[in-house]
Structure 1
């Protein structure tokens, strides 16, 4: 009787257990956005920063490359559209082609030396004890931490014709040994930074000295992830050090080498600060690279910022082509 009246009044009846669990496990909505939209919304702040710091200046550079921008435009006169004239001028200029040769040649030599030296040092660090490895890493990373301008100042002083330590050290060599190696014995007053070839020799030393520590530490980090059992098995099989590197280390570190190669190509193609300091400004046109040529055209009197922007666009496109071809080759190799 009581049960019947209670049910009739709508009270006392509890919902089914299964129905209660279902309602309690239903997730509460944090926002009105669909779940697939949330990751894209979170990416918006980063994309806005990239657009403000990278894409907008790049867009302005491309626009300026089709304009005539000089002193009058700096003073407020509207820029004049000249179409492809800036590109025609730089392609007809012999300095552009010599700068392109210097840029590509320097990048090829420096990237190769940096990767070889960095890999060798990284492999050596992997064989040292933990304390000694840490000590060496701190020592070499101090070179990588030196700002580019300071790098140029250091090596410009070392190769100075009158007070440089390089000429002083070469003069300490026995005359017969110096003649055997270099064909000369007296190095007093040798002007290393007056000739384009010797300037790039100093620049290669400067950039490799500052760049190989990053490669070495990156290779060391990759080597720490390779199982030690593989090397033990190689030693048991009597494999030589070079064969072990070629069959085990290099294949497993291919992704690391791929990233390091691309970064090295980008960094070395657009080297500017070190070359500027070594040459004491855009003085020797034979030693220009594309970055220095772009700077000289844009800011040296009379300023031609449109032409400088056109050179910068060509350098950017060249970097995109080189890196895309390299990445494509890496992808093909991985698929095979």
Structure 2
């Protein structure tokens, strides 16, 4: 018994001072203090981020203060420094304010509907059995995996004036439920994507369809981490489904919703590819959002890359303001 006790103490005891001195000497032999090694490991990632994000942003900022056109891109003429002239032109243009309104309205409805639908599907997946839940998740993720350009092509074909399924489905409904527009005997030929309001309705549907699977899977992952004892206690107390969701699920998933809301705002504010395909290019100025307006100014002849860069900088600043405000609200709620 004495020998066994001695061995056990030896195994559980801390390393001897001699071992610690050897380890410390090994770190010193590398020529770097121990605290600097984690920062050194971050250097490759920081260099990649700087090359892919920081350098283009710096170049974009410089270009926003210059007059840059096709001649400057070709190198036949140097860029002319114009100071704040590009920003003054942008902020004094009615198209900018129209594009800003479209971006804000679209982001509000797109983010709200995506979060609501995604949360509902996430709760449904949590209630389903394991096999059925996996089947539904795989089916939903197919929509999320579709590239943005392909999403625009799919929904443009569905809203096509002549051969679209939307007009075909509306023609099957009785007139008291879906009456054709004035002067038409049927919905066939209705140009949904020519006017701003129906264009953005189609865009919201497109973005919600492609975005809700990510929200649903994220909510499902959050629900898996909520202790089942909380729901059992609520059931014993006679709490209803909505009351349980509002008092238990929502507070427990608040960090998840905070991240998802912030990401959705950023994604929806920058939507470009789907709108470009639905609009068939920058043809309808009334339907521009800020991303479309920046591309139209930069690349439509005559090219004004400086003005497009100024619009992009304004869009970035708006997103930073929204993000900082939202993060501050999250921090305040956590402190309370």
TM-score under structure 2 length normalisation: 0.92
Distance 2:108 2:185 in 1: 31
Contact 1:171 1:185 in 2 (8 A): no
Contact 1:175 1:185 in 2 (8 A): no
SS in 2 for 1:178: coil
The equivalent of 1:33 in structure 2 is 32
SS in 2 for 1:108: helix
Shift of 1:78: 1.2
Contact 2:181 2:187 in 1 (8 A): no
1:22 and 2:21 are equivalent in the alignment = no
The equivalent of 2:49 in structure 1 is 50
Contact 2:65 2:310 in 1 (8 A): yes
Shift of 1:174: 1.8
Contact 2:107 2:265 in 1 (8 A): yes
- C-alpha distance 24-137 of structure 1, shift in aligned 2 (>3 A): closer
What is the CA RMSD across the aligned residues, in angstroms? 1.5
Shift of 1:25: 4.5
Distance 1:254 1:234 in 2: 19
The equivalent of 1:260 in structure 2 is 260
Shift of 1:270: 0.3
- C-alpha distance 48-97 of structure 1, shift in aligned 2 (>3 A): same
Distance 2:248 2:125 in 1: 17
- C-alpha distance 141-57 of structure 1, shift in aligned 2 (>3 A): same
Structure showing greater Rg: 1
The equivalent of 1:63 in structure 2 is 62
SS in 1 for 2:35: coil
Q: Which runs of no fewer than 5 residues in structure 2 stay unpaired?
A: 1-14
Distance 2:50 2:296 in 1: 28
Distance 1:170 1:236 in 2: 47
Question: Equivalent residues in 2 for 1:1-336 (5 A)?
Answer: 22-26=17-21, 27=23, 28-30=25-27, 31-76=30-75, 77-179=77-179, 186-336=186-336
Distance 1:71 1:243 in 2: 61
- C-alpha distance 90-189 of structure 1, shift in aligned 2 (>3 A): same
Distance 1:119 1:248 in 2: 14
SS in 1 for 2:176: helix
Q: Deviation digits for residues 28-54 of structure 1, max 9, x if unmatched? A: 514221111111111111110000000
The equivalent of 2:5 in structure 1 is none
Q: Which runs of no fewer than 5 residues in structure 1 stay unpaired?
A: 1-19
The equivalent of 2:3 in structure 1 is none
Distance 1:137 1:252 in 2: 22
Shift of 1:24: 4.2
Q: Deviation digits for residues 180-227 of structure 1, max 9, x if unmatched? A: x98987211110000011100000000000000000000000000001
TM-score under structure 1 length normalisation: 0.92
Distance 1:321 1:278 in 2: 29
Aligned length: 316
Q: Deviation digits for residues 135-175 of structure 1, max 9, x if unmatched? A: 00000110000000000000000000011011001101122
- Which shows bigger deviation, 22-31 or 140-149? 22-31
